[in-house]
Amino acid sequence: MNLHEYQARELLRRHGIPVPADAVADTPDQVRAVAQRLGGKVVVKAQVHAGGRGKAGGVKLANTPDEAAAHASRILGMQIKGLTVHKVLVAPAVEIASESYVGIVVDRGSQRPLLMVSAAGGVDIEEVAAATPEQIHRVAVDPRYGLLPHQGLGLGLRLYRNVAQARLAAEIMTKLYAACYAVGASLAEINPLATTPDGQVLALDAKIVIDDNELDRRPEIAALRDATAEAPSEVQAREAGLTFVKLDGTVGCCVNGAGLAMATMDLVKYYGGAPANFLDIGGSSNPQKVVSALRIITADPSVKAILFNIFGGITRGDDVANGIVQATQQFPIKVPLVIRLTGTNEAEAIAILTKAGFSALTDMDEAVKRAVAQANA
Ligand code: GDP
Ligand code: MN
């Protein structure tokens, strides 16, 4: 689950990381009032679940409250990476002497939280990683001991020659590591970690992604979810109890079981297609789940064919078949449907589908090839 910058800033603040004060607003008038209260120069920042807001024109400095309101009227309603901006953050503008990057991710390679820093901050860290990987410094933290003081200071000295600033950065890293654990983050980034001309070290931007598996035991973090900021298809899928990830291909996939769903996507690629989504309808699929799945997939205009791949075990083929038939009675399915179905209640399923005018295959390769051909036609 993604947090907004304003939510991430508040969590970091609570863990003792220096973050400038801020307020959130959703109208230009509110922005003007906040800017008046803060006094002086302010920064107005789009609150969307996307990076690179600065480059997209979603971060603007303003000298006066009126200028702040004018920026807000342009930023509110703007689209950044396909997401509409509904709120802006207003904070006192900080005079920046340097911009660094500090981030923690869960690293599969080392199976540890990985602390990464770079003195080349401010910009996209992915660009730094691609063009000048030597400018990124990493320490895999042993979770038994946490971030050790010499590790933090070592990384701090990669950012700043000034020892006092390196110590401040090390302190921030220790707090960021603690914050990650406390909130169940799979990623936490400060970019930029800025220095000011008078020597302060401040977090001017914060990004936190929460591991969804941590939400059940952290209701206060789960409550930070902003469904209005998420892709509508993903919200609908979550509400329907489906595991769904939107992708950018043309073959809509509807599969039971995460492993089979992954294998299906691999096979779609193998036969020259591209999956439009990952979708696991789960183990015990009642027809309603299948209807919801089809509603979500058919709403995506880039889907050119739909592939069902059902290997019935606990999932009963007749439930899935009934779901498909019910869906066609509720809304039009305008793209070809290729159904591969085998296992529990296969015969009943085929009878239901045949009666409704569908045909079903039992061979997975055959079905995937056919769906790819239809999507590419
Ligand atoms: P992002 O582009 O989505 O990562 O948004 P950021 O919050 O990181 O802002 C982008 C850039 O705007 C930063 O790298 C800074 O250069 C600039 N910026 C953000 N806040 C301030 C500020 O308070 N003062 C100044 N001078 N620049 C700022
Ligand atoms: Mn940033």
- The pLDDT tens digits along the chain (377 residues) read 999 999 999 999 999 999 999 999 999 999 999 999 999 899 999 999 988 999 999 999 999 999 999 999 999 999 998 789 999 999 999 999 999 999 999 998 999 999 999 999 998 888 999 999 999 999 999 999 999 999 999 999 999 999 999 999 999 999 999 999 999 999 999 999 999 999 999 999 999 999 999 999 999 999 999 988 887 888 889 889 898 988 889 999 999 999 999 999 999 999 999 999 999 998 767 899 999 999 999 999 999 999 999 999 999 999 999 999 999 999 999 999 999 999 999 999 999 999 999 999 999 999 999 999 999 99
Atom from ligand 1 closest to the CA of residue 54: 2
Catalytic pick among 101, 160, 171, 177: 101
pLDDT score recorded for residue 241: 87
Choose the CATH number for 231-376 among 3.20.20.70, 3.40.50.261, 1.20.950.20, 3.40.50.10490. Answer: 3.40.50.261
pLDDT score recorded for residue 204: 98
d(CA 48, CA 177): 24
Which of 101, 123, 204, 208 best tests ligand 1's pocket when mutated (most atoms within 8 Å of CB)?
204
Q: What is the DSSP letter of 2?
A: B
Residue 121 CB less than 6 A away from ligand 1: no
Do the Cβ atoms of 248 and 256 come closer than 8 Å? no
d(CA 248, CA 250): 7
Q: What is the DSSP letter of 96?
A: P
pTM to 2 decimals?
0.81
Atom from ligand 1 closest to the CA of residue 51: 3
**Domain spans, the chain:** 22-92, 98-222, 231-376
d(CA 275, CA 260): 13
Which of 22, 96, 127 best tests ligand 1's pocket when mutated (most atoms within 8 Å of CB)?
96
Please say if 189 is a catalytic residue: yes
pLDDT score recorded for residue 229: 84
d(CA 128, CA 126): 5
pLDDT score recorded for residue 246: 87
Residue 122 CB less than 6 A away from ligand 1: yes
pLDDT score recorded for residue 375: 97
Listed residue (259, 263, 252) closest to 290, CA to CA = 252
Residue 45 CB less than 6 A away from ligand 1: yes
In degrees and rounded to multiples of 5, residue 186 shows phi and psi of -95, -15
What CATH class does 98-222 carry? Answer: alpha beta
Please give the order of strands across the beta sheet that includes 59-62. 23-25, 88-92, 42-46, 59-62
Burial of 109 (0-12, 13-18, 19+ CB in 10 A): exposed
Please say if 230 is a catalytic residue: no
pLDDT score recorded for residue 366: 97
Burial of 51 (0-12, 13-18, 19+ CB in 10 A): middle
- Number of continuous H segments (helices) and E segments (strands) in the chain: 13, 18
| Ligand 2 center from residue 5 Cα (angstroms) | 9
Listed residue (78, 104, 346) closest to 209, CA to CA = 104
List, as own/partner pairs, every contact residues 258-265 make where C-beta atoms lie below 8 angstroms and the sequence separation is at least 24, other chains included: 260/309, 260/311, 261/309, 264/307, 264/309, 264/364, 264/368
Ligand nearest the Cα of residue 5 is: 1
Do the Cβ atoms of 139 and 151 come closer than 8 Å? yes
pLDDT score recorded for residue 82: 78
| Ligand 2 center from residue 342 Cα (angstroms) | 49
* Beta-bridge partner residues of 310: 341
CATH of domain 22-92: 3.30.1490.20
List, as own/partner pairs, every contact residues 105-112 make where C-beta atoms lie below 8 angstroms and the sequence separation is at least 24, other chains included: 105/186, 105/187, 106/186, 106/187, 106/211, 107/140, 110/140, 112/140, 112/141, 112/142, 112/143
- Cis upstream peptide for 232 (omega within 30°): no
